[in-house]
Every structure is written in C-alpha cells, then in structure tokens.
Amino acid sequence: MNTKNVTDPDQVALIKKNFNSITAENDMKPVSIQPREGEFHWENADRIANFCRQNGIKLRGHCLCWHNQFSDWMYTDKKGKDVSKEVFYERLRNQIHTVVNRYKDVVYAWDVVNEAMTDGPSRLRDGSEPNPYRQSRLYKLCGDEFIAKAFQFAREADPNALLFYNDYNAADPAKRDRIYDMVKKMKDAGVPIDGIGMQGHYNIYGPSMEDVDAAITKYSTIVKNIHFTELDIRTTSEMGGQLQFSRGEQKEVPQYIKTLQEAQYSNLFRVLRKHRDVIKNVTFWNLSDRDSWLGTYNYALPFDVNYKPKNVYYLIKNFKPELDNAVAKEDFQPSVSNQPGQQYPMVNSQGYARFRVFAPDAKSVIVSLGLGGRGGTVLQKTKDGFWEGTTEGAMDEGFHYYHLTIDGGMFNDPGAKNYYGSTRWESGIEIPAHDCDFYADKAVAHGEVSQILFPSKSTGVNRRAFVYLPPSYDGKKKFPVLYLQHGWGEDETAWSNQGHANLIMDNLIAEGKCEPFIIVMTYGMTNKARFGSIQKFDYKEFETVLVDELVPYIDTHFKTKADKANRAMAGLSMGGMETHNITLARPEIFGYYGLLSGGTYAPSEIKCNALPKLIFMSCGSRENPDRVNQAAEELRKAGFNAVSYVSENTAHEFLTWRRSLREMAPLLFKK
C-alpha cells in the first residue's frame, strides 16, 4: 500500500473488504525512514500504521535491511570514507531498533533481510559454483554476518514479531537451494529466523507449479512460516524483483493471455492451499494494476486499472475445494473421435480429458475445453517438445467442440477429427455418455444419408442438403418428412456428423419406437449472423429457400407424403429460432414443431388456422430448463399438444440435441 491507497475512500473500502494484512510498499524502507543520519521521516509510515490500527488490519513490516532503497549513509563516515563494520552495525542496530519499536504494537511480521542471495544457475559456465551471496555493498563490508546481525537487532527490539528472510525467484531450484542453505546455516547458529518470504513476482509462463511446490516443501522443513510477500503475475516473460523491467504497452490484453494469467494464479493458489499449514500469508504487491510497481500495462494484479475485480479475482476466491483433492483415474483411453492411429486426446472413465500436442518452440498452448469460468486447460511443456494437460475435473458427457490456442493463434488438435461448428471445422471430443447406446452403430437395419444438390433460384446457386432415408425406404412407399436444422456456426453436416441423427433413427425404428420418416438437413444460412446481433438475423431468405425451393424439390424427387400433416420442422439453437419463425410465418406447411435449446412458443403467437399436431421444446438441465417446462405448461393450458424435455447434466451441446431427437422422433407422425 501507498498512502493514497489508505486515504482514498473507495480504495479504503476495497482494502477493508478484501484484505486483513497489508504491507507498506516503500514507506517503511530505510531510505524512506532515515535518508540521512538522524533525519527521520515518519509521516507516511505512520499514516499506514494508523490505518491498520484504526481498522484492525495487520501490518507486515517491509523491510529492515536491503541493498536497495537503503540508508546508504550507513556505509561511510562524514568524509566519505567507508566505515568499519562495527560502526555500520551500530547504525543498523539503531535504525532497526527505532523502526521496530515504533510499530511494535501493529506490525506482526518483519522482512528483516531482503534479497541477499545471488541469482542464476547453480553452476557457472566453467563448472564452478557461484558465490551463493549477492555481491552487494552489505556483503562486501560484512560477509554474511550482516544477515545474522540484522535478525539479532530485530529480535532485540521485538521478541514477538515473526522475522523473515525475503527474496524473489525463491522457487527457482538453484536459488531455492541457496536460500535454504543460508537459512539453515543461520538457524543452526541460533539466528532468530522465523520464516521465509517468497516474493512471488511471477509471470504467466512460470515458474512451474512443480518448482513452487518443491520450494515450499523444502523451506517448510526449516521454517514454520512461509509468506507470499509480494505476489503479482506479469503478462510478459519477465520475472523477479529486479528494479529494471519493461513497463508493457497500452493495448487490449488478448484473451489467451488472460487465460494464462488466470491459470497461473489459480494453480498457484491451489499449491498454496495444499501447503496451508505453512503458508500463513499471501500479500499482493500493490492493490490494483493502477498502483502496480510494474506499471499499469503489465496487468499483473487481480484488480484492474479501475479497481474492478478481474475474472482472476473470482477464480482465486471461489475455488472449488473438491477439485483441490481431485485425482484423475489413470485409465485414459484414446477418444473415440480421434483421427486414425492417434493416441491423444484421451478420455478416462470419469470423463476427464487429457491432451498432448507437439509444439517444440511454442510459448503457450491452451485447449479451449475446461471447466466453467476458466478459458480452458493450459497445457504444460514436457520433455521432447510436447505439451500436456488434463482437464481440472470431469467434463459433461457427450460431444464437445474445441480448439487449441498456441501463442495466440487458433489451431485444431491434430489428434482429433474435425466437425463444422463456430463457422469452422473444429476439433471434437466425445466424453462417453452413460446412455450412449441410443446413438451407437448397432447391428440393426440402417438407413442412408445421401447428399443432394437442389437448385435455388432465390440465391442463384445449387444448394446442398443431406437426406436421411429410413431402412424401409424402397422408392415406392411414401414417407413423412422432418426438416431438421443445425445451430449457429454449424452447417448441414452437423446433424449426421456430430448429431448421429441417422443412427438415432435407425435404432428407434429397429426397436419399433418410432414411425419411419425422412429427415432433410440443409444449411440454414445462419452463419451470416454475427455473434451478438443474432436477434436481428433475417430468416426470410432462408424461409424462401426452405419452403419454396427445398420442400417442393424433396416432394418431387423422393417418395414423400406431401402435406402438412406429414411434415415437421425442428432445429437446435439458432435453427430453433428459424423453426419458430418459419412455422409461424407459414402455418400451412408444417404440422409438427420442434425447438431444441432454441426458445419457446407462446400460445398467443400461434394463429388459429395453424393448429400444429405437436409442439416439442427441449434443452439441457444446465440451460434454464424451467423455461421450456413452463412454456409447455402454458401451451397445454391453451389447448395445444405441447411436450417439453430436459436432458440431465448437459448444456448447450450435442448430447442435449441427440437426446432431444430421441425424445421427439417417436412423437412425430403418429398414426
């Protein structure tokens, strides 16, 4: 916190609502308190301490001895000559005693020594080990003894405060070992170190959670308190507490970067919860992106530049405890919708999906599939250039579209088959459903799905449709027809590829559950609608294609019962909206209406000359199911034959619509 944070009423309210411990960002550092010998500046530090006293918020003291922002006068005498270390210690003791005593009543933990260890790998290029200590002026004057002295002075001044050694890159294995060795050596020699502060100036690419976990595990063998003292997660690849860094650019943060940051924060807090016996504090370094020492455009914090919580704030707060301990069963099998010979993606018996992608030079790989609230599953780089990851929990049963985002670019998973959705051929994965039998390819008589091209005067081209002919279609007997529409982003291939409409029909017919009928599936021209303006979509063009061009074509080229009593229209999602509008606009054409996650009819909308034989409305249980149930109830009260159906534990996805077709088909064209 800075003094503005604790003064501005809005920020004060935000602090009081969200935090029970704060740290002064700069105002308790030696350079702020005593920039010149004997010249003390207490005003800012007092303001922050008083804020804590008044509001019952705890204060972490930061920091007593650091090579930066230090009282550099301590090193030299009046003539500018270096002092002896005895003189230096006397000055340091005086400084530490004065500050610690002043805030004893409110500070419960002090960062006593900050950043005394060196960065970099455990071995230098020539194979030798680097000096583990930072080659600072402190070290050059005193060796590592200044560490022991600083802790000793702090303990003298306050026997009760928790005393911390604080550093950045403390999860890096080489630096971790240096920190560990130093703290262990000090503690063994009786130096009063109570805890280790892991600053946590991280970024969206690292450190790995394995390294964080390993560091906490190692530190917790020598200290009982570990504080995350300065947490922020940059959207660049820089890391650490160095005071030189890039300030980022003012530009919209791409979604994939937000996803990486959300995953890094969520995964970190998951590790912290695992170690809740030692992790006693998490402090964010600054209140919001506006205050961030990294500048606004590193977007490093859970509160944005306007002090509004980002999605990451909610992910940190509203974690699902049951997922913390969830362990995926290791019975993964290649997904049934994989490309030939491909092992990945895999699915386990609980419905977890596991992905593995080769992208040796990529910086990030995200799978768009994951549990709610997250932008997907962030994969981790493994050896040999592969990226791997498993969904955080079990997915809903059924079919899911997905894609990969590699360094911000969108790609399909080379392991999975593609299905037309989101106006492109997307990867698809099948989480086996407990009731998958009804759309399985079984040893029953099969109908056929054939492609037709029908002329369309109104659009000036031949248009494509797929026609399902039931097994008993022999070119002589006449059949009723269902016109079945896909949703936004999809096309005429959807109902047979990802919907398995033909298999569902074959199975229903084989079991004698449903009258055989023809299904016609054509492109509903929905993809001209841009997302967000779908309500304004003009269905008239498609009405002409369907009713004035396709229906007559089907009735002349196939053996159909060509009347309203033998014609149905149904559609999913945006195809339901088309169905709704076209059936109402052309009441003489269709006798059965079906909206699958595609809205509802109200009694008042249906003209008295229409009188459909059936209105079927359905959706998934995760899609506001009350709406279809209530609409059906109202229609029934008004005298219509209306049926609603809710697919359990599914959302706006194809298992909902497969099941809906299974429920609707037996109700159509009943003799």
- Phi, psi dihedrals of residue 656, rounded to the nearest 5°: -55, -40
241 binds ligand XIL (CB under 6 A): yes
Which of 172, 194, 213, 230 is in the footprint of ligand XIL by CB under 6 A? 230
267 binds ligand XIL (CB under 6 A): no
245 binds ligand XIL (CB under 6 A): no
For residue 230, indicate whether it is catalytic: yes
Identified catalytic residue from 25, 32, 71, 115: 115
Rg (C-alpha) for the chain, rounded Å, is 34
Identified catalytic residue from 266, 292, 337, 573: 573
For residue 136, indicate whether it is catalytic: no
Least distance from C-beta 40 to ligand XIL, angstroms? 20
Given the complex with ligand XIL, which of 165 and 539 has the nearer CB atom?
Answer: 165
Report helix, strand or coil for 284. Answer: strand
Give the bridge partners for 226, in sequence order. 196, 279
Identified catalytic residue from 32, 71, 230, 618: 230
Given the complex with ligand XIL, which of 283 and 618 has the nearer CB atom?
Answer: 283
Q: Tell me which residue of 74, 62, 380 sits closest to 208, measured CA to CA.
A: 380
For residue 573, indicate whether it is catalytic: yes
Given the complex with ligand XIL, which of 60 and 176 has the nearer CB atom?
Answer: 60
Which of 25, 194, 392, 653 is in the footprint of ligand XIL by CB under 6 A? 25
Least distance from C-beta 164 to ligand XIL, angstroms? 11
26 binds ligand XIL (CB under 6 A): yes
Q: Tell me which residue of 481, 564, 590, 485 sits closest to 527, measured CA to CA.
A: 485
Number of helices and strands in the chain (H, E): 18, 28
293 binds ligand XIL (CB under 6 A): yes
Which of 243, 327, 443, 608 is in the footprint of ligand XIL by CB under 6 A? 243
Least distance from C-beta 294 to ligand XIL, angstroms? 8
- Phi, psi dihedrals of residue 178, rounded to the nearest 5°: -65, -45
Cα→Cα distances 516→453, 509, 667, Å: 23, 6, 12
In contact, 139 and 191? CB cutoff 8 Å: no
Integer Cα distance of 111 and 116 in angstroms? 12
Given the complex with ligand XIL, which of 114 and 368 has the nearer CB atom?
Answer: 114
Which of 5, 71, 199, 427 is in the footprint of ligand XIL by CB under 6 A? 199
Least distance from C-beta 199 to ligand XIL, angstroms? 6
244 binds ligand XIL (CB under 6 A): no
19 binds ligand XIL (CB under 6 A): no
The residue number whose beta carbon is nearest to ligand XIL equals 293
114 binds ligand XIL (CB under 6 A): yes
Answer positive or negative: Cα dihedral of 598, 603, 606, 609: positive
Provide the 10 A C-beta neighbour count for residue 19.
Answer: 16
Integer Cα distance of 362 and 377 in angstroms? 16
* Residue with tokens 């229209």, as numbered in its chain: 569
Given the complex with ligand XIL, which of 241 and 487 has the nearer CB atom?
Answer: 241
Print burial letters for 276-298: b (CB count within 10 Å at least 16), e (below 16): eebbebbbbbbbbbbbbbbbbbb
Tokens for 488, please give them.
Answer: 């936004």
Given the complex with ligand XIL, which of 241 and 398 has the nearer CB atom?
Answer: 241
Size of residue set near ligand XIL by CB under 6 A:
8
Strand 201-203, strand 225-234: pairing: parallel
Positions in the binding site for ligand XIL (CB under 6 A):
25-26, 114, 199, 230, 241, 243, 293
* Active centre residues (catalytic): 115, 230, 573
